[in-house]
Amino acid sequence: MQRPFIQKTLNNKLLAYLFAGIFLVFSSLLAISIGTVSVPISDIAQILGTKIFHLSTTDVDSMNANIVLNIRLPRVILAGLVGAALAIAGAAFQGLLRNPLADPYTLGVSSGASVGAVLTLFFQVSIPFVGEFTLPVMSILFSILTIFLVLLFARKIEHSMRVETIILTGIIFSSFLGAVISLMIALTGDELRQIIGWLLGSVSMRGWSYIHLMLPFFLLGSLLLILNARELNAMTFGEERAQHLGVNVAKRKMLILIAGSILTGAAVAVSGTIGFVGLVIPHLTRLLWGSDHKHLLPLSILTGSGFLILADLVARTIISPTELPIGVITALIGAPVFALILIKRRTEGRGS
C-alpha cells in the first residue's frame, strides 16, 4: 500500500515541476516574441542556437538578433529573476510566520530596500571594495534592518508576537517608509523625480549589467532558503514543536529572515518596488501543489519567474507604445487576491 502512495506523490511532484517549467518557457518565448517588432518563435530558437549555444552557423537576421539578444532577452531574464526572488522570499516568510498574508511587501521589507536604494542613488554612495554592487548591498542592508525593526516593534506592542501583530507592524512600517521616500522626492525636486517611475517597478532598459548585479544575491538567498526547507516544514507546526524535532529555531529563523531580505533587497535594487508577487504566487502554488517547502520553494521560483515575465509583457504592450510600471499590473492582480485571502481567513476564524 505504501509504495503506490509514494509513487503517486512522486508523479504529482514531477507533474508540478513539468507544468511550472512549461509555464516559464512559454512565458519567456511569448515575451521575447511580442513587441513593436514581432519576432517569430522559430527565429528566436535559431538566434539563440546560433549566437549563444553555437549549435549552428546559419546566418540570422541582424535586426532580429539585436532585438532578441540586447533588448528583450535581458529584460525577460531580469523580470524572471525578480519574480523568482520575490516569490521564494514570500513563500519562506509565509512558512516562517505561518500566515499566507506575509510577504516582503506587507512586512515592510520592500519599502526598507527602496529607502536604501533611493539614498544610494541620490547621494551617489559607493562602498569601498564593493563598487558596482553598492546599490544591491545597500538595499539588502536596509531590508534586513527593516525586518528586524518590524520584529522589535511587534515584540514591544505584544510580547507574544502574534503573526497578525507582525504583519500589521510591517504594513505600518511600509506606509511610513513610503511616506519618507515621497517626502525626499518632494523636497529635492527634479533630481529624484526620475526615480518615481523606478519605485513603481520596472525592468525596462536595464540590460545585462543589472542581471550581473542581481544574480549572485539571488543564488545565495535561494540556496540558503532551499537548504532550510526541512526546518521551514518543522516550523509550520509551531516553534515549540520544531524545537522538539531538533531544530535550532532562533538560528534558523535568523537565516531565513536574512535570506529573504537578501532576495528582496537585490530584487528592489534592480527593478524598484513590485508588490504582491511574494503574496500571490506562493499562495497559489501552495493551493495547487501542497505546502511541503522542499517543493514549494523551487516551484515558487519557476512560477514567480513566469508570472512576472507575463506581467512585464502586459505592462509594455497593453497601452503600447507607452509602458506601464510593472508594479501597477502586479498590484491590480495582487490587491484583490490579498482581499480574498483576508476575507477567507476572517470567515474561517469566525467558523472555528
CATH class of 78-351: mainly alpha
Q: Which of 264, 251, 229, 248 is nearest to 147 (CA)?
A: 264
pLDDT value for 351: 58
- How is residue 218 written as a grid cell? 539571488
Tens of pLDDT, residues 139-178: 999 999 999 999 899 888 887 677 778 888 998 999 999 8
| Beta carbons within 10 angstroms of residue 342's beta carbon | 12
Q: What mean pLDDT value characterizes the chain?
A: 88
Count of C-beta atoms within a 10 Å radius of residue 265 = 33
**Confidence label for 217 from pLDDT (cuts 50, 70 and 90):** very high
Distance CA(95)–CA(282), nearest Å, equals: 10
Instruction: Determine the 3-state secondary structure of 274 from DSSP.
Output: coil
pTM of the model: 0.91
The candidate with the shortest Cα–Cα distance to 339, out of 101, 108, 175, 163, is 101
pLDDT of residue 8: 59
Which residue is it, cell 529555531? 249
| Distances, alpha carbon 39 to alpha carbons 33, 46, 67, in Å | 5, 11, 9
pLDDT of residue 260: 95
Domain map of the chain by residue range? Answer: 78-351
Q: What is the pLDDT of residues 108-134, one digit of tens each?
A: 999 999 999 888 877 888 888 888 899
Is the per-residue pLDDT at 190 higher than 80? no
Asked which of 37-41, 204-208, 210-214, 262-266 is least confident by mean pLDDT, the reply is 204-208
Task: Give mean pLDDT, residues 227-244.
Answer: 89
Most confident among 105-114, 220-229, 335-344 (mean pLDDT): 220-229
